[in-house]
A and B are shown apart, each in its own frame.
Chain A
Amino acid sequence: MSETISERPHVDRRMQEPVPRARSRSTRTPLGWWRNPWRKPRILATFTWGYLAWSLLPVLIAIAISFNAGRSNSVWQGFSFQWWWGHPKFDPSGALFVSPELRAALIQSLRLSFLTMFIAVPLGVAFAIGISRWRGPAPAGANFLMLFSFVIPEIIIGISMFLFFTYLLKVVHLGTGAQLLSLVTYQVSYPVIIVRARLLSIGKEYEEAATDLGASPTQAIRRVLLPLLYPAILVSFALVFADTIDDFITVRYLSAGANTEPLSVKIYNFSRGSLTPGINAAATFLLLSTLVIALIGVFLYRRITSGQRGQTHEMADYLT
């Protein structure tokens, strides 16, 4: 035994390079970065930033074009406000705040969205609280209805509402009344879904504690439950407004002629035919109004939950 060992040739390892590591495990080679199981996700990061650019850059370009100084809606020709406030030197017929057609549409847009917002959200909150109290199969049914109205194509709602108001409920004429009724019907599911999610996460304990301490059921709801629900209610307000002012499907079928068409429908109609930067200005205006409502929401939210959690995360929690 000892002989066989001593027969091995003597190698002075002190003079040699250190034994190279197995090639496939090395992270120094060009391909090694790929082989490193703990590498940074550079491909995914590039992909995500690429996606974000793809999703938001076109919109920024469209906003910029609303300030275009020429008639073209695809090529930049200089900066001007002529498509917003008009310009003495140019034909003002396409400018957002000058053209009577666009201005009437703008007012109709704002009227519909504010009315819908202030009807649908309180109604939805009441529904949500009501559904959470019910026992038996009713909540499941209501849940299904809300979810279904959320995912079915809006054109189905538009057409059925149109047929409903023209053949059965003829009391309500096409126009603002019919538009409002169907918008509320459709939009009410936002606050219901959001508030119900919040109610589930709050649980019953707060309310029970309030009633144990001597509050009547209405008092418990008004003084304990509603303040806890404020964030959810604010998010619903912002979402309902954003979705209503952008809606052009239901509202288009239910508008009685050109004078009750809101801005969104005008944009849709013009987009298929004669596009001018004035239409971009109209779309930018819708975006800005939504942004203002969202900012008011964020501001109020900060006031209510001063110094709690980051609001973006919470917003995302509601949306998901």
Chain B
Amino acid sequence: MVVLFALPFYVVVSIAFGTVDPVFRSPLPVYQPWFWTSKYLLDEWTFITGQFRPVELRTLVYVVLATAVCLVIAYAVAYYVARFGGKRKGLFLTLLIAPFFISYLMRMLSWVELLQPNGYVNSVLAFFHITPHPINWLAGVPFTVVIGLVYGYIPYMILPLYGFLDRIDQSQVEAGRDLGASPFWTFVRVTLPLSKPAILASLVIVTLPMFGDYYTNNLLSGSPKTTMFGNLLDNSMEATGQGPEAAILVLFLVVFLMIPMLYYMRETAKAQRRQ
């Protein structure tokens, strides 16, 4: 396991720090750390910061937007099912778990079909006379991509939140109500602070994979107008002789994702020590 997990990553680092065959542009990995050069890495870095800057910015904006929408919807749903699910809890849970067993592709595919120019979304909009002519949702509309991301990742957020909200001691919430707080303020002052660790965990689960997502984007838009960082990675894999570029991009992404991951680990460690 460690071999199969750490070794590939070492190869990535070696290729990233290695040299490139001048003729074929195929990478010559350098496995000895003392021969590593950062020449190509630096070249790529200037390339990325120069040419790709709008892409990174766009990725960040999309991910933050999608995560925010996810959190609002997921929290509301998880809260309702956990507190007011009552007898129907089993049914709710089955329906909430269902997306886990439905392929991501299937769920995206169904939206691709609904959003076609002659698809059902446009027919409904036309029926209510909201739009005069059908909208081509799949031609690089940022809205489609963000909503697609929300749709794809929200189940992974609802379940952890539900699991935690379900375990919150109801007597604490009732105490808040008995002391005269309105439902809103009980929620803000009692439930929300209590569920902070669950929110943090679900944010990590949802946000990190979104940074490497290219398929949602490719399926729902495929236009360079909405390219995200994951698409850069995917494109660098599809073109031949781009091994080093892919390796360097992977390295950047991993280093970047380590930051929220380490923050999360530190926070959970702190919370455990407090208990």
Residue positions of A touching B, CB distance < 8 A = 37, 41, 44-45, 47-48, 51-52, 54-56, 58-59, 61-62, 65, 72-75, 123, 127, 144-145, 148-164, 166-169, 181-182, 184-185, 188, 238-239, 242, 245-246, 248-249, 253, 264, 267-268, 271-272, 275, 279-280, 283-284, 286-287, 290-291, 294, 310, 312-313, 315-317, 319-320
Q: Which residue of A lies closest to B147 (CB)?
A: A54
Contact between chains at B12 and A154 (CB < 8 Å): no
Partner of A246, one of B8, B80, B105, B155: B105
Chain B: residues with Cβ within 8 Å of the partner, total of 86
CA distance in complex: A314, B110 (Å): 30
Partner of A47, one of B27, B77, B99, B113: B77
Report A-chain residues with C-beta under 8 Å of the C-beta of B1. 123, 127, 185, 188
Report A-chain residues with C-beta under 8 Å of the C-beta of B81. 48
Contact between chains at A163 and B110 (CB < 8 Å): no
Closest beta carbon of chain A to B35's beta carbon, Å: 15
CA distance in complex: A161, B250 (Å): 12
Contact between chains at A168 and B29 (CB < 8 Å): yes
Q: Which of B130-169 contact A (CB under 8 A)?
A: 151, 154-155, 159-160, 162-164
Contact flag A163-B12 (CB < 8 Å), given A47-B77, A59-B110, A271-B109: yes
Report B-chain residues with C-beta under 8 Å of the C-beta of A62. 106, 109-110, 113
Contact between chains at A159 and B250 (CB < 8 Å): yes
Contact between chains at A268 and B94 (CB < 8 Å): no
CA distance in complex: A302, B15 (Å): 51
List the count of A-B residue pairs having beta carbons below 8 Å apart: 226
Contact between chains at B212 and A155 (CB < 8 Å): yes
Contact between chains at A319 and B7 (CB < 8 Å): no
Contact flag A313-B105 (CB < 8 Å), given A48-B77, A168-B11, A168-B29: no
Contact between chains at B113 and A65 (CB < 8 Å): yes
Contact between chains at B113 and A320 (CB < 8 Å): no
Contact between chains at A287 and B208 (CB < 8 Å): no
Contact between chains at B118 and A75 (CB < 8 Å): yes
Report A-chain residues with C-beta under 8 Å of the C-beta of B183. 37
Contact between chains at B106 and A59 (CB < 8 Å): yes
Contact between chains at A74 and B9 (CB < 8 Å): no
Query: Residue B224 at the A interface, CB < 8 A?
Result: no
Contact with A along B82-106 (1 / 0, CB 8 A): 0110000110111111111111111
CA distance in complex: A44, B79 (Å): 9
Closest beta carbon of chain A to B104's beta carbon, Å: 6
Contact between chains at B76 and A152 (CB < 8 Å): no
Query: Residue B219 at the A interface, CB < 8 A?
Result: yes
Closest beta carbon of chain B to A236's beta carbon, Å: 13
Contact residues of B: prevailing secondary structure: helix
Contact between chains at A44 and B103 (CB < 8 Å): no
CA distance in complex: A287, B107 (Å): 11
5 other contacts beyond A56-B98, A264-B105, with CB at 8 A cut-off? A160-B250, A238-B101, A287-B102, A312-B90, A313-B90
CA distance in complex: A184, B4 (Å): 10
Contact flag A155-B234 (CB < 8 Å), given A61-B113, A313-B90: yes
Contact between chains at B98 and A163 (CB < 8 Å): no
Contact between chains at A156 and B119 (CB < 8 Å): no
Contact between chains at B247 and A319 (CB < 8 Å): no
Residue with the highest number of chain A CB atoms closer than 10 Å, among B5, B12, B98, B112: B5
**B38-46, B48-56, B253-261 - interface stretch:** B253-261
Contact between chains at B93 and A156 (CB < 8 Å): no
Q: List 12 A-B contacts (CB under 8 A).
A: A48-B76, A48-B80, A55-B155, A153-B257, A164-B11, A167-B29, A185-B1, A239-B100, A272-B219, A275-B112, A284-B106, A291-B101
CA distance in complex: A120, B248 (Å): 30
Contact between chains at B97 and A152 (CB < 8 Å): no
Contact between chains at B105 and A283 (CB < 8 Å): yes
Report B-chain residues with C-beta under 8 Å of the C-beta of A267. 105-106, 109
Report A-chain residues with C-beta under 8 Å of the C-beta of B159. 316, 319-320
Closest beta carbon of chain B to A290's beta carbon, Å: 5
Contact between chains at A41 and B80 (CB < 8 Å): yes
Query: Residue B114 at the A interface, CB < 8 A?
Result: yes
Report B-chain residues with C-beta under 8 Å of the C-beta of A319. 97, 100, 159, 163
CA distance in complex: A288, B210 (Å): 27
Query: Residue B36 at the A interface, CB < 8 A?
Result: no
Contact flag A74-B114 (CB < 8 Å), given A163-B246, A248-B215: yes
Closest beta carbon of chain B to A56's beta carbon, Å: 6
Closest beta carbon of chain A to B103's beta carbon, Å: 4
CA distance in complex: A316, B243 (Å): 41
Closest beta carbon of chain A to B232's beta carbon, Å: 10
Q: Which of B216-273 contact A (CB under 8 A)?
A: 218-219, 222, 230, 233-234, 237, 243, 246-247, 250, 253-254, 257, 261, 265
Contact between chains at A246 and B212 (CB < 8 Å): no
Contact between chains at B243 and A74 (CB < 8 Å): no
Contact between chains at B4 and A151 (CB < 8 Å): no
Report A-chain residues with C-beta under 8 Å of the C-beta of B84. 41, 44-45
Partner of B27, one of A127, A159, A167: A167
Contact between chains at B110 and A152 (CB < 8 Å): no
Report B-chain residues with C-beta under 8 Å of the C-beta of A123. 1
Query: Residue B173 at the A interface, CB < 8 A?
Result: no
CA distance in complex: A152, B199 (Å): 18
